[in-house]
A and B are shown apart, each in its own frame.
Chain A
Amino acid sequence: EIVMTQSPATLSVSPGERATLSCRASQSVSSNLAWYQQKPGQAPRLLIYGASTRATGIPARFSGSGSGTEFTLTISSLQSEDFAVYYCQQYNNWPSFGGGTKVEIK
């Protein structure tokens, strides 16, 4: 099993500021990495796949980077609707998810 570790567990950010979320894989997953946003009571929403490709309809303020074992999701200027939990997921092997980062209002 490939273990995905996300940090920090909670990130406190003010609206308009930049948020940087990290995800680390226990072994290389190449660029087979996706990011999701989840709000309370909703299904996850795909943001990024292939480590850096935005999914359909995702605003440009969301960007992904990295390859191998280290990945980053950056939200350039946080909007009110961006406060949520974010998960990374690898799919180089059978899929596994990180434990999530909660982005909360500072």
Chain B
Amino acid sequence: QVQLQQWGAGLLKPSETLSLTCAVYGGSFSGYYWSWIRQPPGKGLEWIGEINHSGSTNYNPSLKSRVTISVDTSKNQFSLKLSSVTAADTAVYYCARGGYPSRFRELRNAYQQFDYWGQGTLVTVSS
């Protein structure tokens, strides 16, 4: 049974850096891509970016300049940093697993669906 548990600061001031971590329990950590996705209150979902166990990343072009996703394979964890936050970054942030094994996804030359999700963390940006 795969479980994702996430944590991080829930209240930030404008211009600060958002920092969240997601721990993966069960299943294979090295065999998949791991993503961050966010959802502003009452709105839809936005993919932020992803990482695999070797540290290879892909980011949403609209956020790329402010996003860093990193991995700690010794702890089966991955993390998100989003710099220079504004009120527009207020959202529930989710970590999630890519639904295809990495090798299969790379052979397909496409991205993937998300089959396991963390519980979500509400991050509010307010002065």
Write the residues of chain A forming the contact surface with B, with a CB cutoff of 8 angstroms: 1, 30, 32, 34, 36, 43-46, 49, 55-56, 87, 89, 91-100
Contacts and interface: CB of A to CB of B under 8 A. Distances in A.
Given A43-B118, A94-B58, A87 B44 contact: yes
Nearest to B119: A43
A56 B113 CA distance: 13
Contacts, number: 60
Contacts of B34: none
Contact of B61 (A30, A44, A94): A94
Given A45-B117, A94-B111, 15 more contacts: A30-B110, A32-B110, A36-B114, A43-B119, A43-B120, A44-B45, A44-B94, A55-B99, A56-B115, A91-B111, A93-B110, A94-B58, A97-B46, A97-B47, A100-B44
Interface in B43-78: 44-47, 58, 60-62
16 contacts: A1-B62, A32-B110, A34-B114, A36-B114, A43-B118, A43-B119, A44-B94, A46-B99, A46-B115, A56-B115, A91-B111, A93-B110, A95-B35, A97-B44, A97-B46, A99-B44
